[in-house]
A = this chain, B = another copy of it.
Amino acid sequence: MSNYTAPSEDILFTLYELAGMSDIAHLPGYKETTSDIVEAIVDQISSLASEILAPLNQSGDQNGCSIVEGKVVAAEGFVDAYHAFTEAGWQSLSFDPERGGQGLPELIAITSNEIWQSANMAFALCPMLTEGSIVALEAHAIDSLKDLCLEKMISGEWTGTMNLTEPQAGSDLTAVKTRAVRKDDHYLITGQKIFITWGDHNLSENIIHLILARLPDAPPGIKGISLFLVPKYLINPDGTLAEQNDLYPVSIEHKLGIHASPTCVMSYGDQGGAVGYLVGEENNGIACMFTMMNHARLTVGVQGLSISERAYQQALSYAKERVQGTVTGQKDRVTIIHHADVRRMLMLMKAGTEAMRALCYVTAASLDYMKKEADASKQKYHDQRFALLTPVVKGWCTELSQELTSLGLQVHGGMGYIEETGAAQHYRDARITTIYEGTTGIQALDLVGRKIIQDNGRSMNSLFEDIKEVLQFIKGSNDEQLATIHKHLENGLADLQSATDWLLANYDKDIHIAGAVSFNFMMLMGTVCGGWQMARAAKIAAEKLATEVTENESFYKTKVITTTFYTEHVLTRSNSYLQAIKTGSDSIMNLDINNF
């Protein structure tokens, strides 16, 4: 069985040196977030993760969850773990103190998310969905609904879900058919939803379903969809629970991974209609849902980071123990970490994971400036940056996690293919991340279409300036490693600029170009942004090494080596993406459908 220990040193380095945690602590309302507090939080989260959540990861995978008498029963140990989780207050980190939250920065919530998801991704999906539901209700619900639900959700006594997908409506939500009809002060909801994560379970007293549905007089298409709050158990005005609403889990899916996370088919309104309450305005449900989705997309990007970190820890541990083969110049057989190709795989996992962490945290930091920054221009900068990077964090981190968890399995050789080893579980669990909360293709199209073309490249130019600033800082360094890093980042940036110029000049030449180049564009952008953040980290590490002799010396040296590796082995992919982009859509679209 694999263990997990939160990589606290890199987490704190990334928080403070890259994501600017100290500056965030100066934003209004965050002044209590001192570094002592942050360290203590990371420490406590790590303990719960290592001691309670991580040990349930493999058994949860093996035993899964089940439906007993029409209700979902979570995997063994999950109910107790959830109580430990909520009783320690971990659901409430970033939420409004007036509703029982701790009012901590979003950046801290993302950090905690990284650790929960590494420890037990199937488990952590439940609080993650609750988090997204809280965010949507905070932004769009009327006060009486907030009063009824938010405190219970922030405490974790109740959990939340997102109900978007129907059999005919996946990526394309215009096709949603679930109906809502007005009745007195509420609505009656009827329809079937699929792929509802933690759609039913026995962890909490109540479940707040957020559901996309159509009113009878709604306009067709995406502008005719509304968002409703539908509780599993009806809620009395005093907050106590009444009878069960007209809804039930029809079945749970048999999936490739995240077995302990019940993915439900949910039926609403079999007995005449489930009682629901409007969130936001009628026919404006998609906008409300996107509040939730954007949050969830960032967090799913973090899952890519988390599952890669977990897979890395497991592969590293195996590579340090497994004896196999010899190395020239050494008499005895060696542990496989001594073999260069195994080392390459571990370095790729380590470097990729650290690059993801940096990009996730830096992006999450923008959320705090969006919420708390008083200066309008700074706030706008972060707003644009968050919009630009969210699809990259979601798309690139999750795609990279496919490669890294696969390497984790490969390091184990034949043992990696045996389920008991646990490496295969990370590989299977990771595989959902490029699919849910918008597939990679949807992220890539969002990036290329809405965030670059519609924006006419303005946000991209702002990003380029920031990358150039880092290049300027490390330019002409005498340090051979920094010079290497500079060279590759400069090339990567040039490739990304070239791709952007090409896109803006060519996207309107045929209707398929944006879609055809979107995936490679997103991968190029993630690759370069990862390099940008790693280069920042290396620069800071090199400065620390030059100016202070600290106990962290080996950490800083390691950061410079890891960054060098990243630029040599990952950033060097940038030009292949650029070349593919510049071929446009011809060879992708030329084939008649019948000739596939």
Contacts and interface: CB of A to CB of B under 8 A. Distances in A.
A92 interface: no
A3 to B, nearest CB: 15
B435 A417 contact: yes
B431 A417 contact: yes
Contacts of A337: 593, 596
A469 to B, nearest CB: 25
A324 interface: yes
B435 A515 contact: no
Contacts of A514: 340
A420 B254 contact: yes
Contacts of A516: 340-341, 343-344
A253 interface: yes
A596 B165 contact: no
B562 A195 contact: no
A107 to B, nearest CB: 26
A63 to B, nearest CB: 14
Given A320-B593, A343-B588, A418 B255 contact: yes
Contacts of A165: 414
Contact of A255 (B325, B417, B590): B417
A172 to B, nearest CB: 4
Interface in A525-579: 554-555, 557-558, 561-562, 564-565, 568-569, 572-576, 579
Contact of A170 (B256, B413, B427, B434): B413
B576 A573 contact: yes
Nearest to A423: B256
A427 B257 CA distance: 12
A324 B176 CA distance: 11
Interface stretch (A139-147, A239-247, A302-310, A438-446): A438-446
Contact of A568 (B417, B435, B511, B579): B579
Contacts of A253: 417-418
A449 to B, nearest CB: 11
A431 B435 contact: no
Contacts of A172: 324-326, 333
Contact of A511 (B320, B324, B328, B586): B328
Interface in A421-466: 424, 427-428, 431-432, 434-436, 439-441, 444-445
A432 B326 CA distance: 25
A591 interface: yes
Interface range on chain A (Cβ under 8 Å from partner): 35 or more
A402 interface: yes
A424 to B, nearest CB: 4
B402 A588 contact: no
A555 B596 CA distance: 10
A271 interface: no
Nearest to A512: B340
Contacts of A12: none
**Main secondary structure on A side of the interface with B:** helix
Contact of A554 (B338, B350, B515, B592): B592
Given A343-B588, A554-B595, A435 B413 contact: yes
A587 to B, nearest CB: 4
A225 interface: no
B343 A589 contact: yes
A299 interface: no
Given A344-B516, A419-B255, A409 B431 contact: yes
A84 interface: no
A168 interface: yes
Contacts of A326: 172
A213 interface: no
Interface in A335-369: 337-344, 346-347, 350
A572 to B, nearest CB: 4
B583 A569 contact: yes
A410 interface: yes
B519 A344 contact: yes
A518 interface: yes
A416 interface: yes
Contacts of A586: 564
Contacts of A519: 341, 344
A414 B431 contact: no
A254 B418 contact: yes
A515 B338 CA distance: 11
A193 B77 CA distance: 36
Interface string A199-230: 00000000000000000000000000000000
A437 to B, nearest CB: 11
7 contacts: A172-B325, A194-B414, A195-B414, A409-B431, A410-B434, A414-B435, A554-B594
Given A256-B428, A424-B431, 14 more contacts: A175-B333, A254-B419, A256-B418, A257-B417, A339-B441, A340-B515, A340-B589, A343-B589, A410-B435, A413-B435, A557-B595, A568-B587, A572-B580, A575-B576
Closest 6 CB pairs of A and B: A340-B515, A565-B587, A572-B579, A568-B583, A340-B516, A341-B441
